[in-house]
Structure 1
Amino acid sequence: MKNSAKNFAFWTSILTGALLLFIGGRFFAIPEPATTAYGIHVPTNGDFSFQYIKGIRDIFTGAILLVLLFAKEFRALGIALLVGCMIPMVDFSIVLTHPGSETARLYPHLSAVLISLPLGIYYLRTARVKKV
């Protein structure tokens, strides 16, 4: 059981990090469709500042998760996942309160919270504390 939980956490973490890299990259490559997929649509008039901010935030988050995972810094990964939960929580509330938002656009943000919380707890509970 322990080994299967470890494998599940490992592969879910890889998938989460890679998906965040993809989502972040999409905000740079195709900013308007990425914004709509996020759950809001605002006129940009050709200024994609918000999209680039959102994109680099997701790229950084995905990269830090993968770096911590492959460096086997599981305690730090658990902390990053738990603290990082504030991002999809706030994203959820932004989409929820945005006029004309679609309920379906809330699910990715909620899913991120439901993935990050248990993963973060798992890594914190199973990580060995290094003695100095």
Structure 2
Amino acid sequence: MTAHRIATVLSLSLAAFILYLGISYLVAPEWIATGFGLPVWPTGEAAAFLNLKGVRDTVTGIVGLALLALGQRYALGVVLLGFALIPVGDMLTVLFHNGSTAAAFGIHGLTAVFVALTGVLLIRERAGADAAAQAA
């Protein structure tokens, strides 16, 4: 499998996963929130804050899919490097609020690495294409 295909599969997987999470936080926030890693979740009207995460995650997935569909692979790579900071922030939030260390590193930390790796693969495609064009 070529690096181009690997980057495409990883990008599609990330977009599908974050869309699933985003929609889940919008539709059933109390159900999906338990896996986030924090010890306590807001209830009642305060639970509306979980919808904020749903909107953020849904828009993140839509932006990723849009850039991929438009063939903007380099731009998607740059955006993914920025988006990798989101799970880093989530990881730090879980750690600083006495949440699960396993969830902080195992879910959010690994997600940050996965997103950043995908971004780097997409950016390297352009660098490889530029080098091949100069060699020709």
Could you tell me the TM-score, scaled by structure 2's length?
0.84
How many angstroms does 1:45 deviate by?
2.4
Gapped runs of 5+ residues in structure 2?
Answer: 131-136
Letter in 2 for 1:23: L
1 or 2, which has the higher helix percentage? 2
Q: Which residue of 2 aligns with 1:102?
A: 100
How many angstroms does 1:66 deviate by?
1.0
Where 1:63 maps in the other structure, the secondary structure is helix
Q: Which residue of 2 aligns with 1:32?
A: 30
The count of residues paired between Structure 1 and Structure 2 equals 126
Would the alpha carbon gap of residues 69 and 61 (structure 1) be closer, same or farther in structure 2, given more than 3 Å must change?
A: same
Q: Which residue of 1 aligns with 2:134?
A: none
Give the share of equivalent positions with the same residue, in percent: 30
Q: Which residue of 1 aligns with 2:7?
A: 9
Q: Say which is worse superposed, 9-18 or 102-111, in terms of deviation.
A: 102-111
Q: CA offsets per residue over residues 28-71 of structure 1, 9 Å max, x none?
A: 11111222211122232243221110001000111111111111
Letter in 1 for 2:77: G
Could you tell me the TM-score, scaled by structure 1's length?
0.87
Q: Which residue of 1 aligns with 2:49?
A: 50
How many angstroms does 1:24 deviate by?
0.5
Aligned-pair Cα RMSD in Å: 1.6
Matched residues in 1 for 2:42 and 2:7: separation?
Answer: 39
Letter in 1 for 2:53: K
Aligned with residue 21 of structure 1, among 19, 22, 25 = 19
Where 2:44 maps in the other structure, the secondary structure is coil
How many angstroms does 1:104 deviate by?
2.9
Higher gyration radius (CA): 2
Matched residues in 1 for 2:90 and 2:65: separation?
Answer: 22
Gapped runs of 5+ residues in structure 1?
Answer: none
Matched residues in 1 for 2:107 and 2:17: separation?
Answer: 11
Matched residues in 2 for 1:122 and 1:95: separation?
Answer: 28
Structure 1 runs (4+) greater than 3 angstroms displaced: none
